[in-house]
Structure 1
Amino acid sequence: MDVPIAPDDLPRSPTGRVPQWVVDERTGRAIAPQGWLPPDVDETPPPAPRRRVRWQLPTVLVLAALIATWALTGGGAGVPDALASVPWLTGAASSEPSTPPTAEVVALADAAYLSAEGRDLFFGTTPQVLDAATFGDRCTDSPAAIGVPAGAAVGCYLPSEHSIVLYRPADARLQGYVVETAAHETLHAAWELLGDDEQGQLNTLLEAEVATLATDDPIHEQIAGSVGTHPENRPTELFAYVGTQVWRDGGLAPALETVYARFVNDRAALVAVHTGWQGMLDQLVADIDTASQALADQEYANASTRAQLEADTDGVAAYRSAYADKLAEVDALPAEQRSGLQLSWVWWDGTDLPMRPADETLAAAAALLARDDADLAARTAAVDAADGAAAAERARVEGLVADVNALQAQLDPTTG
């Protein structure tokens, strides 16, 4: 079948994503309400929750705050009847995955602090962890992901295939990003295990918890951008976002933590994964900001020092010329006139040469010139060294920026 591709001019949420409902409306694709379906209804499973990331990174000496934009979309509150026979989706006892989990998948489960039930759920989706070359459109050319722009997704949970696909950046420093994505998608799958009553109770608690967060917390924009105009998707988004990103001392509402504990052994540690990798990127930008400001100050100071050095060099050159002229003038005088001649001079730097015989004043001026030559040579060497150090620091800062830019590229499978 032909799969419609989303035009580039589709409306986007504040996080930069194209919600599935926008694609559906533009392409005319009919979407049935999500929820439990009667046995005689054969419907396509709901769109899969998926994650996208957009970063705004600094440039040398002109820095902006590093903003992590996270968006997930799709995933309804119920499980279609077509999937009712899948044990891990209906709440029945988990079965062993048809393919044993790879060592990498097991390591992700360990790093995400998944419980036994969470691990069974995660492993039951037969997770695939792919690099940029193999990830490609795995999360965009599925029927559950029709029209999602290439490069938008970095991981997805596909109910129709009861599978999770994850993109793995090549840079090991972003491993926490993969861990969080795995946990987030697992929590979307976990939400499907809960009954309607339990989901309703948890949704009330989740809304209350999110309401306590600062109004400028990016999670509000992330959730709103994921939900769009499909409020039925808000509960599963709340469950996944809060579960991976929100923690306070003592935990959240006890009933909420009790459900999370079914799937995550140490949720505080899981949230620390989120704050850890994001904090690493934030710290890189903060280091660039600090280093860039110090570099700008040093380069300004160097420029001021060199300007003063050049002015003083010009001043010494003028006095050198005046000294030469005066020396030639005195040497041209008759001997008896020269012997009675007296001179005084105020040097360029304010040094006073009082009235004395001309030969003595000229000798003192020559000594000042020799002093000035030595001083100017030392100052020139110092400012040259300072400029060299600043150039080396500029190269270092530009290297830091290149490193952060490379990390940003790693976050996008199309450039990673």
Structure 2
Amino acid sequence: MLKFVDLFAGIGGIREGLKLAFQRRSIASECVFSSEIDKKAQETYELNFGETPAGDIRLVEELPDHDIMLAGFPCQAFSYAGKQKGFADTRGTLFFEIERLLGNAENKPRLLLLENVRGLTTHDGGRTYAAILLKLERLGYGVCSLLLNSSNFGVPQNRVRLYLVCSLGRVPRLSIKSDLGAPDSHKFKRSLLQDGLFHSNIKYPRVSNILEEHVDKKYLCTPLFVERLTRALKGKPLESLHGVRLIDYRGGNSLHSWNLGMKGICAENEIALMDALIVNRRKKYFGSHQDGKMLTMEQIRTFWPHQDVEETLASLVQKRYLKSAGGKYNPVCGNMSFEVFKFLDPSSIAITVVSSDAHRLGVVQNGVPRRITPRECARLQGFPDEFALHPDDASVYRQLGNSVSVPTVAAIFEDLIMNNELPFDRHLPRKSSCNLLCEAS
């Protein structure tokens, strides 16, 4: 019986991945301790695992003996530690709690799986990441660093996360390698076409595979929002929204508040000027800063040489799509007013699910625009349908945006089982051809 602890557990996504891998390999396991400070996440965890995690990890003095530590620790800035104590000092951060508990352990766990955002590797010029690796090595662990995209593991979501796989006394053997996958849904579709895999629904599921057939009316877009979307599409079907982002300060495959008439209907020349302004204001010869850049009338004339430019700008200021100060103009962005900020393309993968915006991901299904449901959001993270969700939708979206993709974690553990004896049963089948040391990314 392998014993494990689940720290910074969230709703138990890493545990769910471990459980899935162990079930496939008939390995018995027991969680001997869990910790999560968020009360709502604790409630979801209890629904699924029958236990309420302990709260603040900083109040935990020691852990029960265990073989495996799971920890999706939050990453706060290391700036204070770096300036005051040197970058090898991790005090004041939550990683320090892992370090502290491992240092206090009479019997260290043989395996650690630590998960974090990709940005940890580059934070503060890489010094934060280097400090963490140094501490783990000083605690006696060999570390394999993996950057993995969920879309490569049967999850229709572009989600790159960092996984630190640590083995006591040696670098773990892994055949799995870092792979950032396709950077967006469009390149994902192109890669499937190039590889002849576009019709494979098993290895490369797409958003269409996670959609519920019948959804509650509360997830449908309001009639007013649908009317505005229809106006912006100018006669094109609502399915044209597949892959479209609703955002005011970017161009590309986007719709804006002035396209929708959020603050008042715009004339064609007003829409054209706003679209041109959004594209051109980011050009470097107007300045190095990006979203806050304001342009003068003379600068605007360089890409909008129309006689009615003054009247058009004045009308847009009056409608509050533009603001004017000191003879310069800047768009007034109103992104939070959109019921949906991104319509997913059913034939591709989703953008990264994040806690702040998971509730505003949308899809057009059978000609009806709507938000994705909590269950669909859970499927985007690879949670099985029997996984119980919190009864409060807002909590579900936030929890899932902070969670891990279950199949990715399961794949890491299955790879570990195939290529490492300890702490797994020596008599489990192994692939000798996969006994490769994983190089840190």
TM over 0.5: no
* Greater Rg over alpha carbons, structure: 1
Q: In which range does the TM-score fall when normalised by the shorter chain?
A: under 0.3
Between structures 1 and 2, the one with greater strand share:
2
Between structures 1 and 2, the one with greater helix share:
1
Q: Give the structure-1-normalised TM-score.
A: 0.25
Q: Give the structure-2-normalised TM-score.
A: 0.24
